[in-house]
């Protein structure tokens, strides 16, 4: 007697897949911790998130409530996927182009979807793992150093841009915020980010007491707002193309390298991160979600301010979702009133945390390639071109075409 069991293997495979998925969710949920340090760490990336979100909402018409809703949703999904405080942050190149060149909201959404499609393809085909192997660590460190220094300078520029000494949002406030961070640098009992966040809210309410009256309780959910084909075409060269190398390098390869440094027992893998980044915007872009990714700067910032598990990300996601659904666009007033001097300090210290990863480049050859990559990225103001120059030099050194002495010659 012959039994037909052709359907058994697929059924067994599906059952095994579901079982492994459920086991993974249970495992990551058990890894989550929630205490004051995790709560403080969840605020470590606000210095990047808030200015870009508020800027695109105010200048480009991005739906603030929808963007905040999906940021929270993706925080929760990320917290259930990774057991580390993996940040969800705006795609910086797209945000920068949008703010400087005046992109429309559909163009912003289309650019994010295009980048995510490329990153998803790299992840599903395994090419992202190959890139992770062939790109020298010194070049990745150079990229991280450049991004860290850029965040540091951006934060200082935000403080300097206040233009006043003794105003509530001025130089003195920035100095006080920086001193508070330094005083609480090694404290585990009083998280610096919570202190800065409280300081910022206090200043905002003091300078603009009418903020409370602007908040309106309601029920808001994202709506269907798909970009047109023309938006994909017009945004590709202007916003998507500059973002693709930055997302590949910083949001996948560099963040995985940083996760090895910070969490050697539970690092993120390039394929998993690439698939996560890809799926986020391919879903959210049809509902007004701000283009988002993971990033080394966000992970560094949240780690700097106390986050050690995915509990910080789950907490942050829940808060964002509640605020988006209950308060919606009325939160725009609070974000606009939050002092730039305090946000700038938070961003500056997050940049310092990211930049400090260069310390493992102890050989002169690796340090040479790293510094060349950093200098090229910053001088050319082009992450992709700076990376290519650094990569070419690193491989020339590796192949022995050039030689860097590993020790100083004796006098």
pTM of the model: 0.76
For residues 129 and 131, give the distance between their C-alpha atoms in angstroms, rounded to a whole number.
5
What local confidence, expressed as pLDDT, does residue 10 receive? 63
What local confidence, expressed as pLDDT, does residue 120 receive? 93
φ, ψ of residue 162 to 5 degrees: the values are: -65, -30
Residues 171/310, Cβ–Cβ less than 8 Å: no
Residues 185/192, Cβ–Cβ less than 8 Å: yes
Residues 286/332, Cβ–Cβ less than 8 Å: no
Q: Which residue has the tokens 């071109």?
A: 385
What local confidence, expressed as pLDDT, does residue 6 receive? 47
For residues 147 and 149, give the distance between their C-alpha atoms in angstroms, rounded to a whole number.
5
For residues 54 and 63, give the distance between their C-alpha atoms in angstroms, rounded to a whole number.
10
- Helix (H/G/I), strand (E/B), else coil: 39: helix
What local confidence, expressed as pLDDT, does residue 2 receive? 46
Residue 385: CB atoms within 10 A of its CB come to 13
> Which tokens hold the place of 61?
């018409």
Residues 290/69, Cβ–Cβ less than 8 Å: no
Query: How would you write the pLDDT of the chain (411 residues) with one tens digit per residue?
Result: 444 444 445 666 556 655 565 666 777 777 788 888 888 888 877 767 887 888 888 778 888 889 999 999 999 999 999 989 998 988 887 888 788 778 899 999 999 999 999 999 988 888 887 877 788 888 888 887 887 888 888 889 889 888 888 888 899 999 999 999 888 877 656 667 778 888 888 888 888 888 777 776 777 788 888 999 999 999 888 888 878 877 887 788 888 988 998 998 888 888 899 999 999 889 998 999 999 999 887 888 888 888 899 899 999 999 999 989 888 777 777 777 888 898 888 888 878 877 887 877 778 888 888 999 899 988 888 777 888 888 888 888 877 766 655 555 444
φ, ψ of residue 346 to 5 degrees: the values are: -60, -40
For residues 260 and 173, give the distance between their C-alpha atoms in angstroms, rounded to a whole number.
36
Please, where are the H alpha helices in 32-63? 36-42, 46-60
What local confidence, expressed as pLDDT, does residue 401 receive? 67
Alpha carbon of residue 43 to chain centroid: 12
Burial of 261 (0-12, 13-18, 19+ CB in 10 A): middle
Q: Which residue has the tokens 């305090």?
A: 342
Question: If residue 187 lies in a helix (H) or strand (E), which one and from where to where?
Answer: none
> Residue 261: which residues within 8 A CB-CB, separation 6 or more?
357, 360
Question: If residue 293 lies in a helix (H) or strand (E), which one and from where to where?
Answer: strand 292-293
pLDDT digits (tens, 9 = 90+) for 296-333: 878 888 888 888 998 999 999 999 999 898 887 777 77
């Amino acid at each position: 007697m012959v039994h037909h069991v052709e359907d058994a293997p697929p059924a067994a495979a599906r059952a095994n897949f579901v079982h492994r998925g459920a086991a993974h969710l249970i495992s990551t949920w058990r890894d989550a911790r929630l205490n004051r340090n995790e709560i403080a760490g969840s605020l470590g990336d606000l210095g990047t998130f808030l200015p870009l979100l508020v800027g695109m909402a105010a200048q480009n018409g991005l739906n603030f409530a929808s963007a905040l809703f999906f940021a929270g949703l993706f925080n929760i999904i990320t917290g259930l996927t990774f057991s580390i405080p993996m940040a969800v942050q705006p795609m910086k190149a797209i945000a920068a182009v949008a703010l400087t060149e005046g992109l429309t909201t559909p163009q912003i959404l289309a650019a994010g979807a295009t980048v995510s499609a490329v990153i998803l393809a790299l992840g599903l085909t395994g090419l992202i793992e190959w890139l992770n192997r062939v790109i020298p660590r010194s070049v990745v460190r150079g990229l991280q150093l450049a991004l860290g220094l850029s965040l540091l300078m951006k934060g200082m520029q935000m403080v300097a841009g206040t233009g006043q000494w003794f105003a509530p949002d001025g130089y003195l406030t920035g100095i006080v915020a920086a001193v508070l961070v330094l005083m609480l640098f090694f404290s585990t009992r009083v998280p610096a980010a919570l202190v800065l966040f409280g300081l910022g809210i206090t200043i905002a309410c003091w300078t603009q007491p009418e903020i409370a009256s602007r908040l309106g309780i309601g029920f808001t959910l994202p709506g269907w707002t798909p970009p047109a084909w023309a938006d994909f075409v017009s945004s590709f060269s202007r916003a998507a193309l500059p973002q693709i190398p930055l997302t590949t390098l910083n949001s996948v390869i560099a963040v995985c390298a940083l996760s090895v440094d910070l969490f050697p027992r539970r690092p993120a893998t390039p394929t998993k991160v690439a698939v996560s980044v890809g799926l986020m915007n391919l879903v959210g872009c049809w509902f007004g979600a701000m283009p988002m990714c993971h990033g080394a700067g966000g992970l560094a910032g949240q780690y700097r301010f106390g986050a050690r598990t995915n509990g910080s990300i789950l907490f942050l996601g829940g808060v964002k979702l509640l605020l988006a659904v209950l308060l919606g666009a009325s939160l725009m007033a609070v974000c606009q009133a939050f002092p730039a001097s305090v946000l700038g300090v938070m961003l500056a210290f997050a940049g310092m945390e990211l930049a400090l990863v260069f310390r493992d480049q102890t050989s002169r050859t690796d340090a040479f390639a790293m510094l060349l990559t950093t200098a090229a990225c910053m001088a050319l103001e082009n992450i992709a071109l700076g990376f290519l120059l650094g990569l070419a030099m690193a491989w020339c050194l590796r192949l022995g075409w050039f030689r860097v002495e590993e020790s100083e010659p004796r006098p």
